[in-house]
Chain A
Amino acid sequence: MSKLGIFDLSVRYGKLTAVNNISFTVAEGERVFISGPNGAGKSSLLAAIAGEVRAAHGRIEMDGDILSGRVPEAIARRGLSMVPEGRRIFRALSVQENLMVGVGLRRDKTAVPDDLEAIYAAFPILGTRRHANAGALSGGQQQMLAIGRALMTNPKLMLVDEPSLGLAPRVVDEVYDRLCSLQAQRGLTLVIVEQSSARAGRVGGRMLLLRGGQIVADGDAASFAADDLLKEAYFGKAAP
């Protein structure tokens, strides 16, 4: 059974169709990049999976459980965690409070202190600044905090929306390094929206290319870079 299954999913905002009849499945432990130009429907797809927008049509399953139609907090409780676009950390709360927010929904409360230390081990800067206001962190640190916050709910499946947004390339490298090693440690399934397909190719994994709300290509991210498909997705087919 696949970890995540999307079947004939459509998302509409009024008359505008953002996601148009998409189907794909994600296997346990897989890393899937969703790439494509602006307005391709990447973030809408993620928002629909996390329950933030209601699907107009179709079905979303996780471990065979139907997620579509549930509210975000109920979906989070099932072990799906979202790192939202633009980080959206709780700025007036301390770093540690940010990490503890998601803990309320866990049943295994005794494991919380160990998990907290594990996050601090993975992101040492968060450990040293644990009592600082989260709003005082740099962009890269905030991104790490947002990832740490999502991990504290002990998810099986994590959605990451544009982790590279507004960060220096060197910082983006660091964020992806950490994400990949955390995935290896925990056997996480990752679905990442990444605008830069070149970046996705370097990090490695499977890539879905979206355009106009539909999947135009699905394959190994590294082999995409050379492929004409990419140019087509961004700029449209060349005139014959």
Chain B
Amino acid sequence: MTEHQARKLASLTTPLLLIALLTAFVLLIDAFGDRSLGRMAAETLIRVTLVVGFWIFAGNSGVISFGHAAFACVGAYVSAWMTLKPAMKSLLLPGLPDWVAQAEWHVLPAAVVAGVMAALLALATGAAILRLSGIAASIATFAFLAMVNTIWANWTPVTGGTSSVVGLARYVTPWVGLGWASVAIVVAAIYGASASGLALRATREDEVAASASGIDRYRHRLAAFTVSAFFCGVGGALMGHLIGVINPDGFYLSLTFLMLAMLVVGGIGSLSGAVVGVLVVSIAVEGLVRLEKGVTLGATQFALPAGSQEILIGLAMIFVLIFRSAGLLAGRDLILPAAWVAGRAKTTK
């Protein structure tokens, strides 16, 4: 095996390593954690799905999107529309068309359709937004987020407006989250290794040189935006089915900030950065929340003042930006050493 082949093979180990890491995380919590930790694990894996989806676009194109929480919002509501009991829907959402009001789908096809609807919305809005370049595109995605939020908060007969939609089937366990997170990771790795992924990263590095190499920036951006929105739609659906309650404001600024923070902490330059960022931030938040509730050390009771969790996470983000501006992984991927992979391949022959 040549060195080049060995390297190619080694790069395939990245998604496998990441999935193994997440599996270990779930197993650990399954073995030692309580119910609230189990919920935190499920939430973390949903966030992996969201942030890896987000990364497919933002990481490869270098365009920061503020609009991806809107795709999660659409996904969550589509799944609610398709799975809620018809009696519940006639009460909460009287404006739904008949065939939707009567639908009572299984949760899996509903999650897939949630992703597909988010992707279609991305295709339609991206066709306009992604013709803009640089910061203009980012600001347009923010406007899109605000529009979706406003529509959802006011389209009361169909979305329930600002009051929450309740009664979603709570089927999301850490294992369900792990399943979707794994699918997202595999698709992200395949897209990253594809010709379109490479072309998009070239536009991220230098737009002029990329177009001189024959790359149609708009087309590749739109492709990544659409795939990216699919996983954010699925992630939104899973969020709804984790808590059982959805509300337009649950998919607005704080989710946008959280997704960005996770990507920045882990490092936007690599898929592993996206996954590690979610894990690190989620675990840190959980630890701080517990400290806020208070811990007993021997005879002394100790508790952080309420709200210190948000402040400490903000501080941690600032420190990462100052001392490691490319994120914890700084654009590198978790990978098995090429020499090791080559050795393995030889011995198995």
A88 to B208, Cβ gap below 8 A?
A: yes
**B4's closest neighbor in chain A, by CB?**
A130
CA distance A88 to B166 in the complex (A): 54
| Min C-beta distance of B229 to chain A, whole Å | 23
Q: Is B174 engaged at the interface, CB distance under 8 Å to the other chain? A: no
Among A80-115, those with CB < 8 Å from B are 81-82, 84, 88-93, 97-98, 100-105
Contact of A149 with B269 in the complex, beta carbons under 8 Å: no
Tell me the chain A residues, 95-149 only, with Cβ under 8 Å from chain B. 97-98, 100-105, 130-131, 149
Bound complex: CA A131 to CA B68 (Å) = 33
Cβ–Cβ < 8 Å partners of B196 in chain A: 104
A88, B206: Cβ atoms closer than 8 Å: yes
Contact partner of A92 among B195, B205, B208, CB < 8 A?
B205
B212-A72 in contact (CB<8A)? yes
Q: Are A101 and B215 in contact (CB under 8 A)?
A: yes
Residue contact B201 to A52, C-beta cutoff 8 Å = no
Decide if A104 touches B214 in the complex (CB within 8 Å).
yes
Against A, the Cβ 8 Å flags (1 = close, 0 = not) of B207-223 are: 01111111110000000
Asked if B195 and A104 sit within 8 Å, CB to CB, the answer is yes
Q: For B209, list chain A residues within 8 Å (CB).
A: 84, 88-90
Are the CB atoms of B331 and A92 closer together than 8 Å? yes
Q: Which residue of A lies closest to B213 (CB)?
A: A102
A130 to B212, CA, bound (A): 22
Q: Report chain B residues within 8 Å CB of A88.
A: 206, 208-209
Tell me if B's interface is mostly helix, strand, loop or mixed: helix
Name the distance in Å between B10's Cβ and chain A's nearest Cβ: 11
Pick the most buried of A72, A100, A101, A105: most chain B CB atoms within 10 A of its CB: A101
How many residue-residue contacts, CB under 8 A, span A and B? 78
Q: Is B74 among interface residues, defined by CB-CB distance under 8 A?
A: no
Restricting to B157-208, which residues have a CB under 8 Å from any CB of A? 195-196, 198-199, 201-202, 204-206, 208
Tell me the smallest distance from the CB of B2 to a CB of chain A, in Å.
11
CB of A40 closer than 8 Å to a CB of B: no
Contact between chains at A104 and B215 (CB < 8 Å): yes
B85 interfacial contact with A, CB 8 Å: no
Question: Does B7 count as interface, using CB distance less than 8 angstroms?
Answer: yes
A76 contacts B205, C-beta separation under 8 Å? no
* Identity of the chain B residue whose Cβ is nearest the Cβ of A78 in the assembled complex: B214
For chain A, the bracket of interface size reads 20 to 34
Interface size for B (C-beta < 8 A) is 22
> B211 and A101: CB pair below 8 A?
no
B199 near A104 with CB under 8 A, answer yes
Q: Point out the residues of chain B lying under 8 angstroms from A149, CB to CB.
A: 213
Check if A131 sits within 8 Å of B211, measured CB to CB.
no
Chain A residues with CB under 8 Å of B210's CB are 90, 101
In the complex formed, the residue of A with least CB distance to B338 is A131
Decide: B208 and A52 in contact? CB cutoff 8 A: yes
A93 x B212 contact (CB < 8 A):
no
Q: Determine the chain B residues whose CB is within 8 A of the CB of A52 once the complex forms.
A: 208, 211-212
Q: Shortest CB–CB separation between residue A109 and chain B, in angstroms?
A: 10
CA–CA, A130 and B331, complex, Å: 18
- Name the CB-closest residue of B to A50: B212
A91 vs B202: C-alpha distance when bound (angstroms): 9
Near A by CB (< 8 A), chain B positions 263-318 give 269
Partner of A76, one of B4, B212, B269: B212
A65 at the interface (CB under 8 A from B): no
Q: Which residues of the other chain, A, contact B195 by a CB distance below 8 angstroms? A: 100, 103-104
Can you list 26 contacts pairing A with B, beta carbon distance less than 8 Å? A52-B212, A71-B211, A72-B208, A73-B211, A73-B214, A73-B215, A73-B216, A76-B213, A82-B212, A88-B208, A89-B209, A90-B201, A91-B205, A92-B201, A92-B331, A97-B198, A97-B202, A98-B202, A101-B202, A101-B210, A104-B196, A104-B198, A105-B214, A105-B215, A150-B213, A153-B214
Beyond known contacts A72-B211, A97-B202: 17 more, CB 8 A cutoff: A73-B211, A73-B215, A89-B205, A90-B202, A90-B206, A90-B209, A92-B204, A93-B198, A97-B201, A101-B198, A101-B213, A102-B213, A103-B195, A104-B195, A104-B196, A104-B198, A131-B4
Q: Give the B-binding residues of A (Cβ under 8 A).
A: 50, 52, 71-73, 76-77, 81-82, 84, 88-93, 97-98, 100-105, 130-131, 149-150, 153
